[in-house]
Amino acid sequence: MTPSGSALRFVLFVNGLLLVVLACAMVVPMMVDLGLANADWWAFAGSAGVCSFVGASLALSCRGLSDRLNARAGYLLTVSAWVLVSLFGALPLYFSSLGLSFTDAYFETMSALTTTGSTVLSGLDDMAPGLLLWRSLMQWIGGVGIVVMAMMLLPMLRVGGMQLFRTESSDISGKPVARVVHMAALTVAVYVGLSALCAIGYDLAGMSSFDAINHAMATIATGGYSTKDASMGYFDSVGIEVVGIVFMAAGALPLIFYAHLFTKGSRAFFQERQVFVFLCVLVTAIILMTAWNVNNNHMPLWHALRVSAFNVTSVLTDTGFATSDFGAWGSFAIGLMFMLMLIGGCAGSTAGGIKIFRWQILGAGLVRQLRQMVRPNQILLTRYAGRSVDEPTILGVRNFFFIYMMTLLILSVAIMATGPDFLSAITLVAQGMANAGPGLGVLGGPSGNFEALSDPTKWILILAMLLGRLELMTVYVLFIAEYWRD
């Protein structure tokens, strides 16, 4: 069945509510600019008025529907929410004193809400506080939205193996709806708590309160927007970098994992295999990058460890902060960073990338196939986190890898058609799909931004950011004829 009329109205109802929430969020930077007598307050006031009017109109005209959300309506809700919220979230930037084109305003907003962290803006050090706060706030809102979607909606839609993370009745008692509400509330509580702790950490490490709040929101959301053009390199502080490393890694772990730590203690760490594997990959990559920088870039050991630990953590978690231009560290460093960018964080976290659990399942499936070649008559199972994984799930993960790589190649060729070289094109698309922030080439690298890119290139990257954040299949399914047929 196609999405029914009532289901479509429910999608519009939810989108309306999201726009109302977005309008309320616009009031915060508006009050900041108004209090500082900055003229950009009117851009937030006008945008909030438009956003609240459209959102309230949709919500009121479509309210009172209780039909259960089916999978097809779920796909449409997921995609339409990110597109629509990005559209209205771009209004304050478009109407502000920055003088941005609509393409640049939408690019900046999509990058924020998908927690990618790519930016077309420069002169951040002297920018109006309200605009800086709005960028960080959008990343923070996008981060919690991503986690709730990944934990509540994608498992239902069976996107690329995400059905492994369905809420289990053993974890939360009560009816299914009660479980979902409980999980969402618990996730948001953990998210807010981590954000507060991160802000306190940055403040104690030497940031101003304003910078600490902005960077905390971007850190926990693994978004990477900074209030400084030089990103974290501006502060040149070991203490700030240590806080950043801890909380970037914390944002890349499943948020529900922290709740399990309280209830299960250390057993939760060993039961959640993707957490263990993620931390092993992180430590190994830091050691390898440190050794490379000592032996090939002739850095002192302490300095090599410092810059390697921060920038490797930033890239693996797809945050996008930088303290130095790691694109100039040499070929091995570029290759390792590219690989880490695609690996990404854990399912149920704010991090992007392919996700650790998919690499685990793909590897386990490969090992099973090799063992089956040696013992063709033996029935072998693929296991993940102590559970057997069925064939449809394994096939879903393999299909996800295939479509991810094909999308990466096709969009890279499309980018090359607009002018950039091969390295810049493929890393631009890779960082967009992984929601990682800076690329590794001359354009959009750690030492620059995306301002110089042409409008067609930016729109391709907007698509890449959306596809990567919504797990590709959620978007692609809308373009097959069967989706719209009864």
Find the mean pLDDT for residues 61-79. Answer: 74
User: Are residues 401 and 450 in contact, defined by beta-carbon separation less than 8 angstroms?
Assistant: no
| pLDDT tens digit sequence for 281-293 | 999 999 999 999 9
Instruction: Give the type of residue at 451.
Output: E
Among 59-73, 203-217, 239-253, 470-484, name the one with the lowest average pLDDT: 59-73
User: Are residues 394 and 369 in contact, defined by beta-carbon separation less than 8 angstroms?
Assistant: no
Does residue 317 have a pLDDT over 70? Answer: yes
Q: How confident is the model at residue 416 (pLDDT cuts 50, 70, 90)?
A: very high
For the chain, the domains span 384-484
Question: Which residue is it, tokens 């070649």?
Answer: 373
Find the mean pLDDT for residues 378-396. Answer: 76
Residue 427 labeled ligand binder:
no
What is the model's pLDDT at position 176? 44
Does residue 36 have a pLDDT over 70? Answer: yes
Handedness of CA 389, 273, 161, 283 (dihedral sign): negative
pTM for this model (two decimals): 0.89
Does residue 190 have a pLDDT over 70? Answer: yes
Find the mean pLDDT for residues 452-471. Answer: 93
Instruction: Give the type of residue at 368.
Output: R
Which residue pairs from 207-213 have beta carbons closer than 8 angstroms and sit at least 24 positions apart in sequence? 207/235, 207/240, 210/129, 210/133, 213/133, 213/136
Burial of 481 (0-12, 13-18, 19+ CB in 10 A): exposed
What is the model's pLDDT at position 105? 96
| pLDDT tens digit sequence for 236-263 | 999 999 999 999 999 999 888 887 777 6
What is the model's pLDDT at position 387? 73
Residue 319 labeled ligand binder:
yes
What is the model's pLDDT at position 1? 45
Residue 219 labeled ligand binder:
no
What is the model's pLDDT at position 171? 37
Among 126-130, 360-364, 389-393, name the one with the lowest average pLDDT: 389-393
Residue 115 labeled ligand binder:
yes
Does residue 13 have a pLDDT over 50? Answer: yes
Q: How confident is the model at residue 373 (pLDDT cuts 50, 70, 90)?
A: confident
What is the model's pLDDT at position 406? 96
Mean pLDDT of the chain: 86
| pLDDT tens digit sequence for 137-159 | 999 999 888 777 655 665 555 56
What is the model's pLDDT at position 360? 87
Residue 223 labeled ligand binder:
yes
| pLDDT tens digit sequence for 103-136 | 999 999 999 999 998 999 989 999 999 999 999 9
What is the model's pLDDT at position 163? 55
Question: Regarding predicted confidence, which is higher, 296 or 421?
Answer: 296
Question: Which residue is it, tokens 């890239």?
Answer: 315
Does residue 166 have a pLDDT over 80? Answer: no
